[in-house]
Each structure stands twice: as C-alpha cells, then as structure tokens.
Amino acid sequence: MYMSVAELVTAAKETKKPIYELMIEQEMETSQTSREEIWHTMGRNLDVMEAAVNKGAAGDGVYSTTGLTGGEAVLLKKYRQKGHTLSGDTMMQAVQNAISTNEVNASMGVVCATPTAGSTGTLPGVIFTLKDRMNLNRDQMIQFLFTAGAFGMVIANNAGIAGATGGCQAEVGSASAMGAAAAVEVAGGTPEQSAEALAMAISNLMGLVCDPVAGLVELPCVKRNAIGVGNALIAADMALAGCTNKIPADEVIAAMDKVGKGLPKALRETGLGGLAATPTGIRMKEKIFGRSTNSQVHA
C-alpha cells in the first residue's frame, strides 16, 4: 500500500504508469477482486455523483427538513444563465455542481462520500465541470476517481479525513486536494504536478475549522464545498502552469494533521464553536431541537 505521496509519485515515474492504474492494481491485490469488478464499482460511484449533481439543480431544487439549506443550486443555475458571472461560467458551474450535491446530502438523498458526506460535493464539482470543459468520456472520469482515491488514501492514512478529529481542513481540504491532484492527471500533467496541486490545495485551506450550526452537516458545510471546488481547480491550474508549493506534499499533510490535533474541541464538529456559537447559530439550534441549557462553548 502506498503510504506517502512521494512513494506514489516515484512508483508512477518508475513504472511509467498513471496513478489511476497504480490504484487499480493495488485494489486488485488488497481486495483480491477482479479489475472488472473494481472498475464497475467505481463506475457506480460516478453514477451516484452524477445523479446528485443533476437532482439538486433540477426544478425548484431540494431542501433539508430543517429548512437551513436548499434551493441554492437552482439559484446558481439561473444566475449562470444570465451570462454575467464574475468568476466565469466554468468556475460557477463547478460551484453549482458542488452545492447541488451537498444539498442532496442535506435533504437525506443518496450521495457518494468523497471522502466524507460533509465534503461530498467537491469532487463531483470538479469532475463534472471538467467533463464539459475537456469533453471527458466515461472511462476518463472513472480514471479521475481512482487517481483522487489514491491521493485520498495517503491523506487518510497520514492525517485523517474526519472533521471530528481534524476540522473541516480534513474534510473539504482533503477533498479539494484529491480533486486538484486528479484534475492535473486527467489534463495531462505529470505525477509531480499532481503532488504539487495537492500540496497547494491543502495549504490554502490549512486550519479550516469544523463548526456545523446545530451540529448538522448543512451550515456552513454546503458552501464550503464551493470553496473546495474552486480551490481545487485553481491549485490544479497553478501546478499545470509550473508553480510549486515549495513545501513537499507529505510535509503539508503532516502539518495538516498536527494543526487538526491542535484545534480545540469546540472547533472539531461539536457544534460548540465558530459559526455554531454565534447568536444566530444558537437560535437556529434552539428552533430545531428546542432550548438547551448546554449552549455554552467549551474549549
């Protein structure tokens, strides 16, 4: 099993194989499953992602039972149709895809956790935008997911991917890094450039806290995936342009782990700090769950 980005990049260079192929081969070996079955399973994941991307932006959109989130993917879709976006249509399409997916998650719909449900919109936001931007076929999209999975595996094994242990940097930050690295490979970049994109993406979101209002994966989680997808595409473009992070990817991952462990309990998915502890955030919690005597923030 590949335990570091450096090991993954070295293996890709020495074998002259793309990272997605290394991931498939590793999965075949560790799971004792055929290539066809592994490929089919990843294809199902892609289908679930696509269904969520489409569902959240269809009709009037989808809404959570709490009323905290919903309908904004449709707003973004209508905004894009006016043709006057400040960030450009490609970027806003990516944001729409991400928001759509996370709104489906918040409405108790089916999503593919990548790597978690809270960060579930970032990878679909990237991949389905690149599908249109680069005219990717289904095989290329599945390869993208294997590449993202390879880098995500390294992050999970060295820093973790749960907001409860590492803050939102471990969720949306990791998802953004996975998307950036995979975007570089599918665009024809080198393994080294994928590593640089990952390092830049994590560096940009280092220290991002996990502060869900009312303890629910809605606010600010849904919109943080918009930042995650934008960060992924920007980091990928910078890497493809030849920019480097200076701090190696594995050291960046280790730093993220250390930062996450240093975050106080209130900022690690407890719903006790950050935006969750604002007066409005507390009122939202009380409206949903009733008044509680345990509204004080504890470090």
- Rounded to the nearest 10 degrees, how much is the dihedral formed by the CA atoms of 193, 194, 199, 201? 110
Residues written for the chain: 299
- Among 194, 141, 266, 186, smallest CA distance to 2 is for 194
Please write the tens of the pLDDT for every residue from 38-75.
Answer: 999 999 999 999 999 999 999 999 999 999 999 999 99
Please write the tens of the pLDDT for every residue from 98-152.
Answer: 999 999 999 999 999 999 999 999 999 999 999 999 999 999 999 999 999 999 9
- Among 264, 298, 273, smallest CA distance to 215 is for 273
For residues 86-105, give the mean pLDDT: 98
How does residue 292 score in pLDDT terms, banded at 50, 70 and 90? low
Please write the tens of the pLDDT for every residue from 241-275.
Answer: 999 999 999 999 999 999 999 999 999 999 999 99
Q: Where are the alpha helices (DSSP H) in the chain?
A: 5-15, 19-31, 35-56, 72-81, 89-106, 122-134, 138-158, 163-166, 172-186, 191-205, 221-240, 249-262, 279-289
Burial class of residue 115 in the structure, from the number of CB atoms within 10 Å of its CB (0-12 exposed, 13-18 middle, 19+ buried): buried
Contact 239, 184 (CB under 8 A): yes
**Domains of the chain with bracketed CATH:** 3-278 (1.10.4100)
Please write the tens of the pLDDT for every residue from 143-184.
Answer: 999 999 999 999 999 999 999 999 999 999 999 999 999 999
Residue-level pLDDT at 208: 98
Residue-level pLDDT at 291: 82
- pLDDT of 293 over the 60 cut: no
When computed from its CA atoms, the radius of gyration of the chain, rounded to whole angstroms, is 19
Peptide bond into 264 cis (omega under 30): no
How many C-beta neighbours within 10 Å does residue 299 have? 8
Token pair 């991917």 is at which residue?
Answer: 161
Instruction: Report the C-alpha gap between 192 and 197 in whole angstroms.
Output: 9
Residue-level pLDDT at 286: 97
